[in-house]
Structure 1
Amino acid sequence: MLTIGQLARYVGVSTKTVRVYHAKGLLPEPERDSSGYRRYSAQAVVELVRIRMLADAGVPLARIRELSSTDVLGPALEQIDADLTARIKRLRETQRRLRMLAAGDIRILPANVEAHLAGLAALGFTQRWIAMERDLWIIVYATHPDLAGTLFEDQAQSLTDPELRSLYLAADHAHDLDPDDPSLTELADRIVAASIERYGTEPPGASVDPAIPDLLQSTLNASSPGWQRLDSLIRSRLADAGFTFRTSPDGDERE
């Protein structure tokens, strides 16, 4: 028979923790013996080990009490095991990224996205446009990892179409145009027409919260009166067409 101090030492917890488990109804509190001490049996050690293992796994104390029944313990342990597996996977991924950061390798985007960005210059895009794309893809992959792959594949595929690629290039070079240049109006009309032909009125990723991409877009607009005018024309025409209003991964709501 063990005292509360011996029980706590054997299991690796404090006596205060044991008393908390008593108060929560997780561990039965034995009666005092003739000497005034509470004495714990081997069964108490087994129960305390079980409670500690569940608590270490992140199971709330209220939930541990519910698991005292063997009817629910098995399925619950399977779910706890699955949750731990998922948590370990996330921690290993975090560890991998930290090691990359420590080694000076701070790549955030997947290899296929990096390859895509590396090939944009050969297609005629400016470094300014490529930097914009990189920033926005970082945002999309960080905030919507479940949708980022689909959105990226859609944009990458659109660049294989010569007509769509010409629209991207024209939007890139609109940076240097005067905001009153009539070619901006024509370009906006072409972009909106291509968007509606490709997607109807709801583009892929319509459920993505546009707040952060919109912030980036506003920053880009501030750098170029031409881009600001083009963005305004596109938004106006898309709204008139009933287009689902979301910012796209290339930063100007056309694809």
Structure 2
Amino acid sequence: MITIGQLARYVGVSIKTVRVYHDKGLLPEPARDASGYRRYGANDAIDLIKIRTLAEAGVPLARIRELKSAPDEELQRALREIDDELTARIRGLRATQGRLRRLAAGRLASLPAEVGTHLERLARWGFTPRWVDLQRDLWILVFATHPDQAITLFRDQSEILADPALRRLFLDYDRAHDLDADDPRVDDLARRIAQATRERYGPDAPPELDAASEIPILIQGTVNASSPAWRRIDTLIRAQLNV
């Protein structure tokens, strides 16, 4: 028989943790002996190891209490589910670790090869370095937060830029960055972009991210914040398209 301090030390938890488990009804609290100490046996140590293992796996204490009294079949099923959840968490942690290592190496995130090729093409087409850098950063954000939808959005934009007339619009938009917001060219460009959007998509809306996502607002806010002219163009386009 051992004391609570010995029990805690052998199992690798604190005395406070053992007492919490007593209070939560997870570990029966033994009666005191003639010396006034509570003494624990091997079964207590085994039970405490089980509780600690489940708690470290992220199982809530209330669920652990239920599992302690569950039939063996239910317990085994629950343990398999917990194992699956741990596997998913480990996969997520490994992905996070990969992003952390890329960040340490100066690479915020990986982009598909076709996006890299597209960014190189932008420079050859005459887009400014500012525009290319902005596009790279925004695609990193989209692919990092919405990988399933990002490729559809990217390919739609890639198709647009493959059309010389539409590419001209984007080039004009790029160069409008330094215009005064009240420059007449801003209004004309917004009108042309709105018209091209209607011609390309008709009554259908262009493909976009999940409506519940805040990323589109963040992206447009980032673009608008970099240029008063771009901000006015966005406002005019939305008004003309009734967005």
The two structures share one fold, judged by TM-score above 0.5 = yes
Report if aligned partners of 1:109, 1:137 keep a CA contact under 8 Å in 2: no
What is the Cα deviation at residue 145 of structure 1?
A: 4.4
Change (3 A) 1:193 1:28: same
Report if aligned partners of 1:170, 1:187 keep a CA contact under 8 Å in 2: yes
Percent of pairs identical after alignment? 56
Report if aligned partners of 2:225, 2:231 keep a CA contact under 8 Å in 1: no
TM-score, scaled relative to structure 2: 0.82
In 1, the alpha carbon distance for the partners of 2:232 and 2:217 equals 20
In 2, the alpha carbon distance for the partners of 1:15 and 1:175 equals 64
Structure 1 residue 47 and structure 2 residue 47: aligned? yes
Moved more, 7-16 or 22-31: 7-16
Structure 1 residue 232 and structure 2 residue 214: aligned? no
In 1, the alpha carbon distance for the partners of 2:207 and 2:168 equals 21
Match of 1:204 among 207, 218, 228: 207
Change (3 A) 1:182 1:18: closer
In 1, the alpha carbon distance for the partners of 2:100 and 2:20 equals 37
What is the Cα deviation at residue 23 of structure 1?
A: 0.8
What SS class does the counterpart of residue 67 from structure 1 fall into? helix
What is the Cα deviation at residue 125 of structure 1?
A: 1.5
Instruction: Say how many residue pairs are matched.
Output: 236
Residues 134-171 of structure 1 deviation map (CA, whole Å, 9 limit, x = unaligned):
23223434544453333223222332333332322232
Match of 1:116 among 115, 118, 128: 118
User: Comparing both chains, which one has the higher relative contact order based on Cα–Cα distances under 8 Å and sequence gaps of 6 or more?
Assistant: 1
Give unmatched runs, 5+ long, in structure 2: none
Amino acid at match of 1:11: V
User: Match of 2:27?
Assistant: 27
User: Match of 1:57?
Assistant: 57
> RMSD value over aligned CA atoms?
2.7
In 1, the alpha carbon distance for the partners of 2:235 and 2:54 equals 57
Give unmatched runs, 5+ long, in structure 1: 240-244, 246-255
TM-score, scaled relative to structure 1: 0.78
What SS class does the counterpart of residue 159 from structure 1 fall into? helix
Report if aligned partners of 2:11, 2:49 keep a CA contact under 8 Å in 1: yes
